[in-house]
Each structure stands twice: as structure tokens, then as C-alpha cells.
Structure 1
Amino acid sequence: MRALILAALAVLTATGPVAAQDLAITFDDLPAHSALPPGETRVGVIARIVAALADAGAPATTGFINAGGLETEPGDRAVLDIWRAAGHPLGNHTWSHANLDTVGPEAFAVEIARNEPILEGLAGDTDWRWFRYPFLAEGQSPAVRSAARATLKARGYRIASVTMDFSDWAFNEPYARCRAAGDEAGLARLEALYMASAEEALAASRALSGRLYGRDIPYVLLMHVGALDARLMPRLLAMYRARGVRLVTLDQAMTDPFYAADRAVSESPQALTLENAARSAGVAVPARMDVQTEAAALCR
């Protein structure tokens, strides 16, 4: 499978765009994710992300919120207002970014419900009943998994799957650290690693989907509203455009049959990811770059 990724990367980096491929970008942890570099604000971060999406002609892009932080930082409400003013919908990521496997299904149900009033108040005519599991933790035991899904189904949610992820969250704290230290070499390496990880994730998802289904499914990309995400968003979106990616909404991507269990919130033995689908089919999941370890070591 490592060879499949290398072959896919070769295709992606060849001159000229490849065939159009649908991708829904989603953002977790609104209104506040990770550390901020000196001089940055949450409002500034979200404004740059929104501007980059607009410049790229991106469609409505779903952001998943943890409203609990507004109790200590009420000014962060402006982040959600900016997001909605730009026409982007919101979904539920629990009140305090609770890990289902840590808090249990009963407390998890409370977390889901507690997040709903602000979602409903901001939604307008958009559908806010999309749910993204914090930490992508869907329940290690069948009983916990089933209980959480029962809660989500009863409350009318669809589950937002993840079929592409390049660990963007791991870059934002090191970015703040490198900026504070004025470490230009560290910043350059961090940015190069971020972009390389994004390209590798695109190639890996396409390789697995091709191996499993003989086609590209519409992918759902997990991202976060971090300061480095904001800085590199124009470059990231330009890379996707050059690679033949067509941005679509979460609703559009998840009409694909691959996502049926999450769309209907029906029983599923494991999270709907390409990696889990490959393991179930006996297909080896290729190794990926360990970007988290390298990023964490920068600017120390």
C-alpha cells in the first residue's frame, strides 16, 4: 500500500490537473482552537479563513462548535457571528469537546443537548443537526457506541464522517511557539511539513478509495480553526485546486453510499473511515509521515 500512495502522489504532482474530485472541507473547534501566536486574535483567525474560502469560491462550509468556552471568553461569540455572516453553517461538537469514551454516554448526551441553544439561535434557515465526535471517539465498546448513536438519532442528527485528515491540529501550538521565539527556520519547516502532510493525505485517501471501490468517493476533510490553518489556507486551497479538487458541501459529499450508516445514524461496528473500511476488507493501511512528532519538537 505504500507503493500505492507513492504512485498516487506521482499522479497528483504531475503537470496539469487531474480529473475533478469532490471534497467537503469541515472545521472543528469553533470558536477557539489551540494556542494563539503573539498579536493574533480569534476574530483575526476566523476572518482570514473565511476570506480564503471566499476567494477560492468555496461553497457553504460546515464548522462544528464547542460553545462551553463562551462562558469564560464571551467575546469569542464574534467568531461564530463572522462565520454565519459569511453564509457558513454550524454543527454540534459537544459543549466542552467531551470525549465519549471518557465521560460515558449519559454525560455525553447532556453535552450534546447543552450545545443546542446557541446552535439554534445562530442557524437561521440552515440545518445545524450535523454532529462531529470530539477526538473522533465513537465508543470503544459496542454498548457505549450504541447508546451515543441512539441519542444522536433521537435528537435528529446526522454524523459528519471523516475520510481525509492530515493532522492540521498538531501544527497550531508549534506555530504559536515558533512565532513567539522568532524562529524563522522552524516556521519554514513547519509550513513545509503542513503542506506535505496535506498532499500525502489527499494521495492516501484517493489510493485507498481506488483500491477498495475502484473510484473516488467524495471525501470529507477534517480541519480546525487554528492560526497556522488561517495563514496557510490560501496556499492549501490553491494546492487542492491544482490537484483537480472540487469543493462541495458536507451535505453533497455525504449523499454518497459510502456514508449511508452515518447519514442515517444506523448501527455501525466502527467509525466510517477509509482506514477502517480497508481493515475490514483485509487491505493494508499504508504508513504515513509522523508529522505530529516532528511538529511537536520544533522551536523548543
Structure 2
Amino acid sequence: MLVADGGGGGSAPSGDGKPPADDTYDNWFWGQLKEVASEIASQNRMGIVARIFGNVLGWNSTPRGSGESAYDQSNPDYTKGLLTKPGYQAEVGVRETWPVNMDDCKAGNSAAYYSPLDANGRGQGARACLTDGDFGWVDGKTGEIKGNADSWLRGTPVPRKGPGAWTNPLWNPPGMGRGKDRSHLLANRLGGTGLDRRNLTPLLSDVNHPIMWNTVEKEVVGRLDSGHTMYYEVSAGYSGNSSDPYRLSYFWKDITTGETEYGRIVNSAP
């Protein structure tokens, strides 16, 4: 489950769904309740959901494959990639093959993978295999969850209101400033998280929307809405130590029809 703020419950790791070995269950449990009270006081609704369902009830204790580790959204390991499937999410170390790739993309194999941050803390890219009904997304205007509301593969907007919305480093990539958007690499509407920097990069506002949407994402969404299975990948290209990408490269393949498209979006003023 993608959440805005997992909170900080002492030494209890928010992704493990169990108390630490050096604590008693009672102490840990009451500590979690204190965190819930704190999040209620700050009106952090997503933090409340994360704390109760993720930690106390153990929903974050999910099955994971070989080489995968629990994902603690409040303390991510940016040296690893983030893998999200309809049934779970996990951080993944470097592998010889991509956790999500075109050859394995088919109906029933929906997943998204966000590459580790580079040495300068910048988002590098994302890959996804998607079939309508396997993923959901949050409407940025209404907050309504659309698509599959039970899927862990769920798109979220970048927070714009509340404590830390514009300062929290979890979703504020380096280099932000006037005239720029915290742009999803994998779009919210395609199940992409707006709550983890691995999926975010600064784009000029006019490039992020409408250019990125009209050029690439709208087409992919339309095919998904028609029942097609889609493979999609996007990568950011940087020059030197610049925090802003000079271009985004994208590729998609319609697994249902075999059609493909490749292109680049230049991150510069028209």
C-alpha cells in the first residue's frame, strides 16, 4: 500500500509488521497507538492508515521473492529499486535482469519497477507492465481512488497540502524551483507513486503537462482502457551534475497488438 507518511514509531520498522526483538509487544503496541494519536492531531490521514493497517495489523508483512526486502516508505533505501505488484511491494537490489521487463509482460503480470536514485540523488527511470483492473490511482483533485482500490500497485499524486508537502525529501527531488513540477516518471494515472523520489524528477511545468500527457501518457491510458496489456518504460537523461533532466526517453509496446513507439521529450521551454 502506498502511503504519504509511514511515521516514525521509535525503533519499530514500519515495513515489518512486528515489534522489534528488543522490545515487548505491549510497549511496541502502545507506542504505535501514540503515533496514531499524533497523526490524528496533525490530520495526517494517510499516516493513520499506514500505522494501523501496515504495522499494527501486519498488512506490511507480505510475501516477497528472492533478493527482495520490506519497503519502509518513511525510510527508503535509495540504493535499491522499488518493485510494486498488485499483491505487495518490496525494495530490490541490483540484478542481472530487470524485475519488470517486456519479455515477461502479459495479462496477469502487472508490476512497476522504479530504478535506484543515482549518485546525485536523482530519479533515473521506471518500467511497468499493466493491464486494466490490476492497478489503481488516486484522483489528484477529488482524492477518490479509481481502478482497483485493493491493489498495492496504485498511483498517487505528489502531496500539495499539509505538513511537509513542499519540504519532505521523500517526495521533493533536488532542484525544485519556480516554474517546475515534481513530475512522475511513471504517471499517477499509470499506477505510478508520487510518494517516492525514485519516481520523481523536476520538469518544466509546460513540459510535464500538457506535453508529456498529450504526447505519451494519454495514448497508453487509452489503450489500457480498451482492455490492452501495455509495457511502458521511461528514463531521465541528465547532463553532468544538473538536477534537472534535459530529456525523458520513453518506449511502449502494446502487448495485445504488438504495436510499439519510442520517443524523447525535451525538457526545455517551447
Scaled by the length of structure 2, what TM-score is found?
A: 0.31
Higher relative contact order (CA 8 A, sep 6+): 1
More helix by share: 1
Q: Which has the higher strand share?
A: 2
For normalisation by structure 1, the TM-score amounts to 0.28
